[in-house]
Amino acid sequence: MTTAKRDTYTPETLLSVAVRVFNERGYDGTSMEHLSRAAGISKSSIYHHVAGKEELLRRAVSRALDGLFGILDEAGATRGRALERVEYVTRRTVEVLTAELPYVTLLLRVRGNTRTERWALERRREFDHRVADLLKAAAAEGDLRADMDMRLATRLLFGMVNSLVEWYRPQAGTGYDREQVADAVVRLAFDGLRTATP
């Protein structure tokens, strides 16, 4: 007699359970046993879908990274002045982050203890560099203030955007919708809070 739930998981639904557990316990603190209990299926059923927890991590952070890198290929990120492109990328980054919240949260918490984690950190840095390059291009075109270090500006911009994973929750009625947050981030970052001098 067994009380185990029948395995009705697909790799996709199993992934969403794993990401939730990784975010709650930390990737290091999660064992296959924890995943098995959270999913309500046996460890061997999980191994039927994936080779192990590192594969789940790789799939999860890939989903976040594919979302982010996808932005850079969109028309808004490739045409027009650098300033328009970097504003577009900032807005879309907020949209992808809030749409893929658990996946991006996991990506941002990766530590670097395994090969997959180091690869994820490397890809994150690559994305940050691509955005930093856009900011530098916008500065070179004269559209961004010359009195700001663009590497520091990039860090602060990502600090603001990434901090959304700490408090933004998409549930309706509890706060702000995605577009409102994206608008606010772009406005604050590029125009600042101060009333525009007429």
Contact residues for a second copy, defined by CB under 8 A: 83, 135, 142-149, 152-153, 155-160, 162-164, 166-167, 176, 180-181, 184-185, 187-197
Q: How far is the CB of 170 from a second copy (least distance, A)?
A: 15
Nearer to a second copy, 32 or 160 (CB): 160
Q: What is the C-alpha separation between 59 and 64, in angstroms, rounded?
A: 9
Nearer to a second copy, 55 or 183 (CB): 183
Nearer to a second copy, 115 or 187 (CB): 187
- Contact between 128 and 162 under an 8 Å Cβ cutoff? The reply is no
Q: How far is the CB of 142 from a second copy (least distance, A)?
A: 6
Nearer to a second copy, 33 or 166 (CB): 166
Query: What is the DSSP-derived secondary structure letter of residue 4?
Result: P
**Which residue type sits at 90?**
T
Q: What is the C-alpha separation between 198 and 80, in angstroms, rounded?
A: 27
Nearer to a second copy, 43 or 109 (CB): 109
Burial of 93 (0-12, 13-18, 19+ CB in 10 A): buried
Q: How far is the CB of 87 from a second copy (least distance, A)?
A: 9
Q: How far is the CB of 149 from a second copy (least distance, A)?
A: 7
- Maximum pairwise Cα distance, the chain: 77
Contacts 24+ apart (CB under 8 A), 143-152: 143/81, 143/82, 143/83, 144/83
Q: How far is the CB of 130 from a second copy (least distance, A)?
A: 17
